[in-house]
Structure 1
Amino acid sequence: MAVVREFTLPDLGEGLTGAEIVRWLVQVGEVVAVDQPVVEMETAKAVVEVPCPYGGVVTARFGEEGDSLEVGRPLVTVAVGSDSGAARPSGGDGDSGGDGQGSGNVLVGYGTGAASARRRQRVRAVGAAGIGSVAAAEGAPSAVPDAGRGGTAAAAPHGSAPVDGDSGPLAVISPLVRRIAREHGLDLRRLAGSGPEGLILRSDVERAIAAPAPSLSGAADGAERVPLRGIRRAVAEKLTRSRREIPDATCWVDADATELLAARAAMNASGERRISVLALLARVVTAALARYPDLNSTVDTERSEIVRLPGVHLGFAAQTDRGLVVPVLRDAHTMTTTALAAEMARLTEAARTGSLTPAELTGGTFTLNNYGVFGVDGSTPIINHPEAAMLGVGRIAAKPWVHEGELAVRQVVQLSFTFDHRVCDGGTAGGFLRLVADCVEQPAVLLAAV
C-alpha cells in the first residue's frame, strides 16, 4: 500500500534553526532515491544540499526559492510504495531499506550516500512499485490513490498551502502567484484571498500590485526594499546582538610594518609555501593571546562567569560574492606560520566557492579582520559574538615616520582592537595591542613572546 511520507527540514546543527531555499533539485512527480539531495538550502553559515531519507515519488514541495523555513517545517512529501525502500529514521542501523546503497540518515548539512549521483527521472505515473497514479502538477494538492482500496490513501499534509518561513502556512497554491508576488516585492501575508477559504488568487495579487503604494514617512517615492536573507540576515542579527549585549571598547595604534614585510619577503624567497601578511599576523595574535588569555574567552551571562577557553580557534573575515563570512582556523595556537598560511589559503578558496562547511564557519574564539584590503586605514570592529575581542588591520601604506631619530618613509599600518570590557580592563587590552604592534615593528620580538 502506498504511503505518503513527509520530510521536514532537518536539524542543521551549530545552533542553526532555519535556512532559505536556494534551488529545488527535484520536481513534483519526480522519482527520488534514498539519500538523494532534493533541495539546496542557504543557512547562516553555508549553502548545503539536503538529502531526503525516503525513496519514491515526490508529491509536494513546500516553499519557493527565496522562502525561509524553520527546522521541523515540511520540505517535501514522498509517496513510498510497499517495496520502494523508505529509509529507516535517522539514528537507525543504516539500512536503506531499498537498494542498500544509502544509509537513509539525514546528517547535519550533508548527503549520506552515493544516491546523490543517481539519475533522476520525471514521471507522471508509477505502477510497478504499487504506488499508482501520481499527480504531477507542481503546487497542486497531491493525492496518492491506494492500490488496495482504489481511493485516496494520503494527501500532502498542511493542506495545499506551502509553509512560509516562521509565519505558518500561506493560502497560496499556485507557484505562479508566488513568483509574481516575489518579483513585485509583495508580502502575501498581508493579502486577504478572495478564493475559497481565503485562497489567494492571481487576481488578488495583480489587484494589490496595481493599487497605489502607501506613502512612507521619511522615504522617497520609489524606495526599494531589500529583504535581509541568508548570510546577510545572519550577519545583521549577530552584529545587532553584539552591540546589544557586549559593552565594547576600542583602542588603536599605528605601527611600522617595514620589518614585517622584509621578514615576509625573506620567508617567501626561501620557502615553497607563500606566506601572506595575514598569516604572519595570525601567528602574532596566537602568541599575544598566550600572554593575555583573558582575551580568548567568552562571557556566560546566565551564570555571570567569564569562561577562559583552552585553545585558540582563530576566525578571519573573508569577503565573498555572497557576503561576509568568517572561516575558522581551528587550534591555531598549535600551528606554525607556514601551517597557518596553508590553512588560511584553503579556507579562503572554499569561502570564494561557497563550499565551506558549517563546522568551518563556527566555534571561533577570536577574530582577525583585515579591512586594509578595501584601501582604508582604520575602523572600529564589532565583536563577533560570543567572542570577547577582535583585532582589525588597516592597509599598509608608505608614510612619513620617525625611524632611529630621523624622518623617513616607512610602511605604516593602523591596528584597531575592540574588546569586551567585562573580561578585562584597558590595561590588559592595551598590553595585548602593544605586544602585537611590537611584533609587527620588530618580528624578532615574536620569539620572546612565544
Structure 2
Amino acid sequence: MAHASEGRGQEFRLPDLGEGLTEAEIVRWLVEVGDVVAVDQPVVEVETAKAMVEVPCPYGGVVTARFGEEGTELPVGAPLVTVAVGTGEDGAAPAAGTEAAASAGGGSRAAESAGAASTGAESRTAEPVAARAEAAGSGNVLVGYGTSEAPARRRRVRPDRRAATGAAVRTNGRVRVAGPVDGPAEGSADGPVPVISPLVRRLARQNDLDLRELTGSGPDGLILRADVEYALRASAAQGGRAADHEARTGRAPVTAPTAPASATTPGAPRSGTVRTPLKGVRGAVADKLSRSRREIPDATCWVDADATGLMRARTAMNASGGPKISLVALLARICTAALARFPELNATVDTEAREIVRFDDVHLGFAAQTDRGLVVPVVRDAHARDAEGLTAEFARLTEAAHEGRLTPGELTGGTFTLNNYGVFGVDGSTPIINHPEAAMLGVGRIVAKPWVHEGELAVRQVVQLSLTFDHRVCDGGTAGGFLRYVADCVEQPAVLLRTL
C-alpha cells in the first residue's frame, strides 16, 4: 500500500520563524488531510517562545499528510505537511478524488486513491499550482522557502515510510496520517506511550528504559523529559546500592516483589504535587530572567514622588475633547525625556567585545501580564511619539498580547523597559532587568497618603518609583540623576516643557 504522503508532492517543513527560535508547539491544525490549500494559506497555528503564529504554506495543492498532533513540540526543519502540488484545471479535482476515496473505501484504499488522484492530476495538467505561484509571487517569505519562484523538484529515494510515520487511518470520513511512532498501532497492548517529544523517546531508548513503566506527570499522563531523567537517576542510585551490598556481603540483595507501576514509578508525581513544564512563553521568561540574574550586576534605587500634579495634568488633557491619554503613555513620555538627558541607560553590554553599546533610538518595552504569561511588547521609536501616539500604540500592543497575536518582532529589540506593577495593587518592587537591556523603571500604585506640601501636611497622590540598572553601564550618580528627573516630571509635569 502506498503511504498517503508519498507521490509527487512537496513536503513543507517548519520554517525558521526568526529571532533565534529553534522549536514550536502545534496549537491547532487549520487544515485536514484531503483539503485543498492555496499558496500562502495558513495551515497550522503554532506557539513559539515569543508568540502565537499562523504558519502559511508556500505550496498550493492537496494536503496528503500532516505530521504531529496538537500539543506536540517540533524543531525547526521538522515536516509539517505534505502537499500534492498538481491539481486539475479548476483546482478541485484532487479534493473530490480524495474525498470520494475516503468515503468509499477503507483506510488503505483511501490512501491509495488519494495518491493516485494527486499523481493523475499532476500528469493531466500543464500548469500546476506551484507554477501559478511562480507567476504570481508570494507575499510571505519564509526562511528556507523562496516563495517568489517555484521550488525545484527533487526525487527522493525513501524507505517504506509506513514504519517511520505510521499508517493511514480513517477519521470522520477523511484519510489521516498518524505521526511518527516507534511501535505497533496505538491501542494495542504493546503500542507506543504518549511522550512530549521524540527526543524523550530517544533518551529512554538509549538508556534501555521502558516508557510503559512510567506514569507521566504532564497533562493526561504525558511523559516529560523530567520524568525520564528522574527515572534514570533513581535507577542508577538503586544499581549503585545493589553493587555496594554485593561487594560487602558477597550476595545479591533480596528485592521485594515489584508493585504496580502506578505505585512505584519513579517518574510519577507524589500526591499533592503539580508539575508544570517550563516551555513556550513561560520557558522563555524563565530562561531570560535566569540569564539576567546570572550575567548582569544589577542595583536598585527608589524614591517616593507626589503624583498629584501628573494626575491633574492628565485630567486636564482628557477634558480638552481629544483622544484620551493613558497614564502609562505619560510615564513613557517622561522616560524618553529622561533617557535623552541620561543616554547611558539606553544601552546594552557586549560581553564578547567588552564594550558598552549605546543606542540613539528608544525602543520602549513594557511589561504586560497575559493568560499565557508575562510578555514585554516593544513600542518602536517611542522617543519620536507624542502622548497621543504612545497611547494608541500601547493599546494596540496590549490587545494583541492578550489575544496572543504578537509577532516575534514586536517582542524583541527593546532598549529600555517600563514596568507598571502598580496595576497589581503593590507599592514597590525590585524588578529584574529585561536582558540584554541595561535598565528598567518600575512604577508602583498611586495612592492617597499624608504628604508635606508647601510646608503643610496634606493628602496627596503618592507613587513609589524604582530604577534597576546594570552597574556596568553607569554608576549610582547617573542612575540617581535619571530617577530624580523622572520624579521631578511626575511632581511637576511642566518640567517636560524644557525638553520639547
- Summarize the Cα distance change of 1:209–1:159 in structure 2 as closer, same or farther, 3 Å threshold: closer
Deviates more, 1:60-69 or 1:261-270: 60-69
Q: Which amino acid aligns with 2:133?
A: S
Structure 1 counterpart SS, 2:199: coil
Measure, in 2, the Cα distance between the counterparts of 1:109 and 1:256: 55
Paired position in structure 1 for 2:89 = none
Q: Does 1:103 align with 2:138?
A: yes
C-alpha contact 1:394 1:414 (8 A) present in aligned 2: yes
Measured after TM superposition, the shift of residue 163 of structure 1 is 11
The correspondence for 2:323, drawn from 259, 273, 285, is 273
Paired position in structure 2 for 1:232 = 282
Measured after TM superposition, the shift of residue 449 of structure 1 is 4.1
Deviates more, 1:369-378 or 1:350-359: 350-359
Q: Which residues of 2 match residues 23-34 of structure 1 at below 5 A? A: 23-34=28-39
Paired position in structure 1 for 2:82 = 77
Measure, in 1, the Cα distance between the counterparts of 2:376 and 2:67: 31
Measure, in 1, the Cα distance between the counterparts of 2:445 and 2:42: 43
- Summarize the Cα distance change of 1:211–1:57 in structure 2 as closer, same or farther, 3 Å threshold: farther
Unaligned runs of 5+ in 2: 1-5, 87-121, 149-160, 170-176, 184-193, 206-214, 230-258
Measure, in 2, the Cα distance between the counterparts of 1:164 and 1:447: 57
Q: Which amino acid aligns with 2:300?
A: T
Measure, in 2, the Cα distance between the counterparts of 1:72 and 1:382: 34
The correspondence for 1:62, drawn from 61, 67, 91, is 67
Measure, in 1, the Cα distance between the counterparts of 2:216 and 2:55: 23
Paired position in structure 2 for 1:299 = 349
Q: Report the structure number with the largest CA radius of gyration.
A: 2
C-alpha contact 2:200 2:228 (8 A) present in aligned 1: no
- Summarize the Cα distance change of 1:102–1:22 in structure 2 as closer, same or farther, 3 Å threshold: farther
Q: Does 1:183 align with 2:220?
A: yes
The correspondence for 2:380, drawn from 330, 355, 363, is 330
Measured after TM superposition, the shift of residue 25 of structure 1 is 1.5
Q: Does 1:3 align with 2:8?
A: yes
Q: Does 1:210 align with 2:262?
A: yes
Q: Does 1:48 align with 2:53?
A: yes
- Structure with higher helix content: 2
C-alpha contact 1:16 1:43 (8 A) present in aligned 2: yes
Measure, in 2, the Cα distance between the counterparts of 1:74 and 1:163: 18
- How high is the TM-score relative to the length of structure 2? 0.69
- Summarize the Cα distance change of 1:330–1:105 in structure 2 as closer, same or farther, 3 Å threshold: closer
Paired position in structure 2 for 1:321 = 371
Q: Deviations over 1:251-301 (max 9, x none)?
A: 111100001000000000014111111111100000000000010001111
Measure, in 1, the Cα distance between the counterparts of 2:196 and 2:76: 12
Measured after TM superposition, the shift of residue 141 of structure 1 is 3.9
Measure, in 2, the Cα distance between the counterparts of 1:241 and 1:182: 28
Structure 2 counterpart SS, 1:342: helix
- Summarize the Cα distance change of 1:286–1:374 in structure 2 as closer, same or farther, 3 Å threshold: same
- Summarize the Cα distance change of 1:80–1:333 in structure 2 as closer, same or farther, 3 Å threshold: same
C-alpha contact 1:259 1:442 (8 A) present in aligned 2: yes
Measure, in 1, the Cα distance between the counterparts of 2:63 and 2:497: 62
Q: Among the aligned pairs, what percent are the same residue?
A: 69
Q: Which residues of 2 match residues 321-360 of structure 1 at below 5 A? A: 321-360=371-410
Structure 2 counterpart SS, 1:72: coil
Paired position in structure 1 for 2:44 = 39
C-alpha contact 1:37 1:51 (8 A) present in aligned 2: yes
Structure 2 counterpart SS, 1:44: coil
Measured after TM superposition, the shift of residue 54 of structure 1 is 2.4
Q: Does 1:140 align with 2:175?
A: no
Q: Which residues of 2 match residues 422-441 of structure 1 at below 5 A? A: 422-441=472-491
Measure, in 1, the Cα distance between the counterparts of 2:260 and 2:58: 40
Paired position in structure 1 for 2:117 = none
Measured after TM superposition, the shift of residue 446 of structure 1 is 1.5
Measure, in 2, the Cα distance between the counterparts of 1:211 and 1:6: 44
Q: Which residues of 2 match residues 403-422 of structure 1 at below 5 A? A: 403-422=453-472
C-alpha contact 2:216 2:224 (8 A) present in aligned 1: no
Structure 1 counterpart SS, 2:133: coil
The count of corresponding residues between Structure 1 and Structure 2 is 388
- Summarize the Cα distance change of 1:381–1:42 in structure 2 as closer, same or farther, 3 Å threshold: same
Q: Does 1:167 align with 2:199?
A: yes
Measure, in 1, the Cα distance between the counterparts of 2:139 and 2:396: 31
- Summarize the Cα distance change of 1:382–1:449 in structure 2 as closer, same or farther, 3 Å threshold: same
Q: Which amino acid aligns with 1:210?
A: S
Measure, in 2, the Cα distance between the counterparts of 1:53 and 1:107: 8
- Structure with higher strand content: 1
Q: Which residues of 2 match residues 4-23 of structure 1 at below 5 A? A: 4-23=9-28
Measured after TM superposition, the shift of residue 16 of structure 1 is 2.3
C-alpha contact 2:418 2:440 (8 A) present in aligned 1: yes
- Summarize the Cα distance change of 1:165–1:427 in structure 2 as closer, same or farther, 3 Å threshold: farther
Calculate the aligned-residue CA RMSD, in Å: 3.8
Unaligned runs of 5+ in 1: 89-94, 114-134, 144-154, 173-177, 192-206
Measured after TM superposition, the shift of residue 228 of structure 1 is 1.7
The correspondence for 2:425, drawn from 366, 371, 375, is 375
Q: Deviations over 1:335-393 (max 9, x none)?
A: 11121112112222222222222222211110000000000000011111111100010
C-alpha contact 1:39 1:51 (8 A) present in aligned 2: yes
Measure, in 2, the Cα distance between the counterparts of 1:54 and 1:394: 51
Deviates more, 1:431-440 or 1:66-75: 66-75
Measured after TM superposition, the shift of residue 411 of structure 1 is 0.5
Measure, in 2, the Cα distance between the counterparts of 1:410 and 1:109: 59
Measure, in 1, the Cα distance between the counterparts of 2:432 and 2:296: 10
Q: Which amino acid aligns with 1:404?
A: E
- Summarize the Cα distance change of 1:106–1:336 in structure 2 as closer, same or farther, 3 Å threshold: closer
The correspondence for 2:448, drawn from 398, 403, 425, is 398
- How high is the TM-score relative to the length of structure 1? 0.76
